[in-house]
A and B are shown apart, each in its own frame.
Chain A
């Protein structure tokens, strides 16, 4: 008898629990979505409001009237200290900094990974271990030695210096990405190509690199995001006109003359964040695919 009731209860439970669990799952996921999108939402709506409307205090309310003044202000007029040129020149500083830094660090990482996985030599694993170690050295620890090195080379305070800093710091990560991707590529490919008569660079260029699209996307996104968003290296190793957008954003938000223009601050922050958002939206699915690619047999 008790068995029977237990069975009935179990059958009932079977019918209802999946739906309940699923509902709970969606509820929790929904809360997280809200939690993460709310700041973005507040930023966007605030940047589209006029100052008087902001002063009324409805933080979450939609703007009564969409005003784009804050965006144009942030782009070309906002003041950082005494210079009032907006974010525009600094945006281009960041582009000029990020593009070569990403390309160079990704290229070096690809070659490093290719060597460390397919042309292993005595001690190559130790070198790889040391490079991995480099990923975990905090930014602050290298500031002073880096400053001295840049000074000695004579590229302190300009874009070239900052590119070098980011390339050096990024090589650890890019090497890790490429090496881990390439160890899943069968070594027979290299052997077959050697017998076909191909050398180091031909094998890399005609066989290995064309297979590398997923890991290149991952590495480019990773490097682009971390270099674009970097503040500490930017503020330490650049001056005045050469500063990247993150430093300029900080200066704009911190220089107040009388009234705090929240809408301009928000628009500035949005402008500084849009490139990384775009990169992720455009290449995001490749990012996930690339991260998973290492686990799937080529």
Chain B
């Protein structure tokens, strides 16, 4: 039994298709993150789930019951908004208890729920303040308190951390994660930040242009992305893509490309193709930056190769450094140990570990 399910969901605004045939389902305790660039339809999907917008076709089901016509208040959901949407003329206490007051929950129960949530979120001392007297992080907590107090079936978060500064964002992120672990609630969370998605989710849906490109566990998306879009969107710095062809598909398959006029031949016989490529098929080879290093001994993979390449840009992160090279008519980035001295424009040996690669069809950009 799934807690929330979307079936063949469509949404049009006039002639514009915002959502196209969305299908997903989540179970009790799942933390689903909808992630994608702006305008991919993730917030619309969340609003439809909440009942704040109507779908054009399809069904939304909560606990296997179709709720298409059920108003938001009767869906047993709570929502945290990007702008927090705290009622500006009410104190924190009134903000948190407003919903219970509207639903005519007895005074004693209201007080009890307020105390429980205020303790949980450490906002006991703020109850008499107005939202304008709170800092960004405190407002965020109050907004979460307002959702938590309801003890809903599903929590909906609409980019709740985007208005916070970088440090606070990371802090609140881990608090949300802890809250989820402690309370075991079911959450649907919208963000455009892939780091947030990776660190919070038990399940990620990467959306693009109104469709779900891939739905799966964070590690699954990272290791075996379905498409170039997902591979590029998940992970930072992004995956490197090298264009070329597959040859010798009958025997020990190889990927070939040209670097500065000479042929580069990379063995990919160990790669588990999901569909058999044809001889000479145009493909895109994807390699994550952490598999492009300076040191051959770092990886003892199934297959690896060394190249003499010229660094053209170097960014240090403290822990390691991201080095950019021209390779096979494109650019690739590697992650070098910060102990290695990298000199711009001075050629050096670059080691590419091929044990964990992705291969996509050159035209459809789907994984093969």
| In the assembled complex, B161 has its CB within 8 A of some CB on chain A | no
**A111-129 residues at the B interface, CB under 8 angstroms:** none
- 6 further A-B pairs in the complex, CB-CB below 8 A; given A193-B98, A194-B71: A192-B87, A194-B52, A196-B99, A196-B146, A197-B99, A211-B89
Q: In the complex, are the beta carbons of A194 and B72 less than 8 A apart?
A: yes
Partner of A192, one of B79, B89, B103: B79
Bound form: Cα–Cα A188–B82 in Å: 9
Bound form: Cα–Cα A78–B38 in Å: 73
- Minimum Cβ distance to chain A for residue B153 (Å): 13
- Minimum Cβ distance to chain A for residue B109 (Å): 15
Chain B CB within 10 Å, residue with most, of A193, A197, A198: A197
Bound form: Cα–Cα A193–B85 in Å: 9
Partner of A196, one of B83, B84, B102: B102
**B130-150 residues at the A interface, CB under 8 angstroms:** 146
> A residues near B, CB below 8 A?
186, 188-189, 191-198, 202, 206-207, 210-211, 298
| In the assembled complex, B328 has its CB within 8 A of some CB on chain A | no
Q: In the complex, are the beta carbons of B78 and A195 less than 8 A apart?
A: yes
CB closest residue in chain A, given B84: A188
Partner of A189, one of B52, B72, B78, B85: B85
Q: In the complex, are the beta carbons of A193 and B87 less than 8 A apart?
A: yes
B81-106 interface mask toward A, CB cutoff 8 Å, 1 = contact, 0 = none? 11111011110000000110011000
The 3 A-B residue pairs whose C-beta atoms are closest, nearest first, are: A196-B99, A188-B85, A197-B73
- Minimum Cβ distance to chain B for residue A169 (Å): 31
Q: In the complex, are the beta carbons of A195 and B73 less than 8 A apart?
A: yes
Q: In the complex, are the beta carbons of A210 and B83 less than 8 A apart?
A: no
Q: In the complex, are the beta carbons of B81 and A188 less than 8 A apart?
A: yes
Chain B CB within 10 Å, residue with most, of A192, A193, A198: A192
**Contacts between the two chains (Cβ within 8 Å), count:** 59
Residues of B with C-beta under 8 A to A197: 73, 99, 102-103
Bound form: Cα–Cα A195–B84 in Å: 13
Given A202-B102, A207-B87, check contact A191 B73 (CB 8 Å): no
- Minimum Cβ distance to chain A for residue B219 (Å): 33
Q: In the complex, are the beta carbons of B77 and A196 less than 8 A apart?
A: no
Q: In the complex, are the beta carbons of A206 and B98 less than 8 A apart?
A: yes
Q: In the complex, are the beta carbons of B102 and A198 less than 8 A apart?
A: yes
| In the assembled complex, B50 has its CB within 8 A of some CB on chain A | yes
Residues of A with C-beta under 8 A to B87: 189, 192-193, 206-207
Bound form: Cα–Cα A207–B146 in Å: 15
Bound form: Cα–Cα A42–B103 in Å: 63
Bound form: Cα–Cα A202–B88 in Å: 15
Bound form: Cα–Cα A202–B90 in Å: 14
Q: In the complex, are the beta carbons of A192 and B73 less than 8 A apart?
A: no
Residues of A with C-beta under 8 A to B47: 191
Partner of B83, one of A186, A198, A211: A186
**B316-361 residues at the A interface, CB under 8 angstroms:** none
- Minimum Cβ distance to chain A for residue B339 (Å): 49
CB closest residue in chain A, given B78: A195
Residues of A with C-beta under 8 A to B81: 188, 191-192
Bound form: Cα–Cα A188–B163 in Å: 15
- Minimum Cβ distance to chain A for residue B304 (Å): 52
Bound form: Cα–Cα A191–B17 in Å: 23
- Minimum Cβ distance to chain B for residue A15 (Å): 44
Bound form: Cα–Cα A192–B47 in Å: 11
Bound form: Cα–Cα A202–B103 in Å: 12
Q: In the complex, are the beta carbons of B85 and A192 less than 8 A apart?
A: yes
**Can you list 7 A-B pairs with a CB-CB distance of less than 8 A?**
A186-B83, A192-B85, A192-B87, A193-B87, A194-B71, A195-B78, A197-B99
